C-alpha cells in the first residue's frame, strides 16, 4: 500500500471510527486502503493540503476508480471518503466538506444464490459419508499396522533393524489415515455449523471451544463491530461438533509446534498444521464439498443465504432470522423473503398443471 503525506490524518480518522463506531477490523482495514488510494491519487496530482480538494476532484477520482471496481466496491469507497471529509471538517482540518454531496453509486438489487433444501441435505450427507468412509480406512490402516507387527515377530531370522523398517511405513500410513479422518470430521462439523446457524465465515474461524454450549445447544457468536449474539443449532450439528472435538481435533492439535499450539489452544477449528483455521481454508472446504456432492458451487456466504431462506420457508419469523444472522437492519433480512417467493414461484411452475 502506498504511503501519503496524509497518513497521519487517515490514522486519526480510523482511530476515531474504531473508538466511536465499533466497526470491524476488516471494515477499518478496507476504509484505510480506500482513503490511502484516494489521497495518493491527489498527491500525484500535486495536492498538498486537504483544503485544495474539491467536489469535482472527488468525482474525477470516482471516475478513475470505477473503471476497475464493481459498484459495490465503489459504494464502500465513497462511504469511506465521505466519512473522512465529514470528520476532517468537524475537527477543523478543512474549512469545507467537499464530499458532502458526493453521491454513492446505486447497487443493483440481486437475489442471493441459495441451494434448495434437497441440495443442502445432499451436501451435508456427502460430508457425513466422507467421515464414515475415512474412519473405515483408518481402522484398516490400524489393522495393517498390527498385522505387519505380528508377521515381523514370527520371522526369527530378521534383524531388529529390518523389523523397524517394515513397521515404519505402516505407522506413517496410520498417521496419514488419522489426519485425513480428522480433517473430514472437521469439514463435516464446519458445514453442519454454517448451515445450522447461518453464521459468517469470519465468525466461524474466530470461534473458541468455550463459545459452544452443548447443554442448551447454542453458540456465542462475535459478529461485525464486536457485537455478540447467541444462535441455536440442531442435533446433526451437535453430533458433528462432538465427533470433531472428541476425535478429530486432538489429532490435528498434535501436529502443531509449541508456539502454534499455544496460540490455537482455545480455537474451535484447526488447520492441518494445528493452528487456528483461516477463512481461505474454510471457503475451500465449502467449495470442495459442493463439487463432491454434485450441487451448484457455493461459498460459505451462499450457505448462510440458504440457511436464512430455508428458515423462512419453514415458517420462521423475519425478526427471528434477523437476530440469528446478526443483521443490524431488517431491510437486509427482507432480501431472503424475495428468494423464498422466487422459489415458491418456481415450484408452482413445475408442479401446477395450469401454471
User: Active-site positions?
Assistant: 200, 224, 301, 304, 327, 336
Tell me what the mean pLDDT of segment 106-115 comes to. Answer: 66
343 versus 44: which is more confidently predicted?
44
First to last CA, the chain: 56
Give the confidence band of 243 by pLDDT, cuts at 50, 70, 90. Answer: very high
Q: Has residue 45 got a pLDDT over 50?
A: yes
Tell me what the pLDDT averaged over the chain comes to: 80
Q: Has residue 282 got a pLDDT over 60?
A: yes
Q: How far is CA 216 from CA 96, 188, 206, in A?
A: 55, 21, 21
Q: 102-105: long-range contacts at Cβ-Cβ below 8 A with a sequence spacing of 24 or more?
A: 102/55, 102/58, 102/59, 102/62, 102/78, 103/78, 104/75, 104/78, 104/79, 105/62, 105/66, 105/71, 105/74, 105/75, 105/78
Nearest one of 31, 34, 88 to 65, comparing CA atoms? 34
Longest distance between any two alpha carbons in the chain, whole Å? 94
Q: Has residue 31 got a pLDDT over 50?
A: yes
Q: Has residue 163 got a pLDDT over 50?
A: no
Give the confidence band of 145 by pLDDT, cuts at 50, 70, 90. Answer: very low
Q: Residues near 111 by Cβ (< 8 Å), separated by ≥ 6?
A: 335, 338, 339, 342
Q: What is the pLDDT of residue 67?
A: 86
Give the confidence band of 214 by pLDDT, cuts at 50, 70, 90. Answer: very high
Q: Has residue 141 got a pLDDT over 50?
A: no
Give the confidence band of 147 by pLDDT, cuts at 50, 70, 90. Answer: very low
Beta bridge partners of 355: none
| Percent of the chain whose predicted confidence (pLDDT) is above 90 | 44
Amino acid at each position: 500500500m502506498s504511503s501519503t503525506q496524509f497518513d497521519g490524518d487517515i490514522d486519526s480518522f480510523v482511530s476515531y471510527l474504531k473508538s466511536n463506531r465499533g466497526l470491524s477490523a476488516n471494515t477499518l482495514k478496507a476504509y484505510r486502503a480506500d482513503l490511502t488510494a484516494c489521497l495518493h491519487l491527489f498527491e500525484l496530482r500535486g495536492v498538498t493540503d486537504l483544503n485544495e480538494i474539491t467536489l469535482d476532484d472527488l468525482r474525477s477520482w470516482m471516475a478513475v476508480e470505477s473503471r476497475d471496481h464493481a459498484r459495490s466496491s465503489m459504494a464502500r469507497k465513497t462511504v469511506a471518503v465521505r466519512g473522512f471529509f465529514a470528520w476532517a471538517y468537524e475537527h477543523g482540518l478543512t474549512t469545507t466538506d467537499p464530499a458532502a454531496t458526493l453521491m454513492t453509486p446505486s447497487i443493483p438489487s440481486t437475489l442471493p444464490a441459495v441451494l434448495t433444501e434437497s441440495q443442502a441435505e445432499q451436501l451435508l450427507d456427502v460430508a457425513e459419508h466422507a467421515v464414515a468412509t475415512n474412519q473405515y480406512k483408518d481402522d484398516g490402516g490400524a489393522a495393517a499396522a498390527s498385522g505387519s507387527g505380528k508377521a515381523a515377530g514370527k520371522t526369527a531370522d530378521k534383524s531388529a533393524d529390518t523389523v523397524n523398517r517394515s513397521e515404519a511405513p505402516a505407522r506413517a500410513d496410520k498417521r496419514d489415515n488419522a489426519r485425513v479422518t480428522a480433517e473430514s470430521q472437521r469439514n463435516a462439523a464446519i458445514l453442519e455449523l454454517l448451515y445450522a446457524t447461518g453464521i459468517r465465515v469470519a465468525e466461524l474461524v474466530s470461534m473458541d471451544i468455550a463459545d459452544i454450549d452443548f447443554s442448551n445447544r447454542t453458540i456465542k457468536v462475535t459478529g461485525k463491530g464486536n457485537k455478540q449474539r447467541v444462535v441455536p443449532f440442531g442435533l446433526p450439528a451437535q453430533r458433528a461438533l462432538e465427533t470433531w472435538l472428541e476425535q478429530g481435533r486432538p489429532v490435528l492439535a498434535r501436529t502443531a509446534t509449541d508456539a502454534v499450539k499455544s496460540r490455537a489452544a482455545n480455537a474451535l477449528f484447526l488447520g492441518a498444521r494445528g493452528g487456528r483455521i483461516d477463512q481461505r481454508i474454510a471457503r475451500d472446504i465449502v467449495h470442495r464439498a459442493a463439487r463432491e456432492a454434485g450441487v451448484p458451487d457455493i461459498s460459505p456466504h451462499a450457505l448462510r443465504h440458504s440457511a436464512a431462506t430455508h428458515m423462512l420457508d419453514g415458517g420462521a419469523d423475519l425478526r427471528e432470522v434477523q437476530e440469528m444472522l446478526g443483521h443490524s437492519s431488517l431491510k437486509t433480512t427482507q432480501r431472503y423473503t424475495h428468494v423464498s417467493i422466487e422459489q415458491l414461484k418456481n415450484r408452482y411452475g413445475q408442479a401446477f398443471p395450469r401454471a
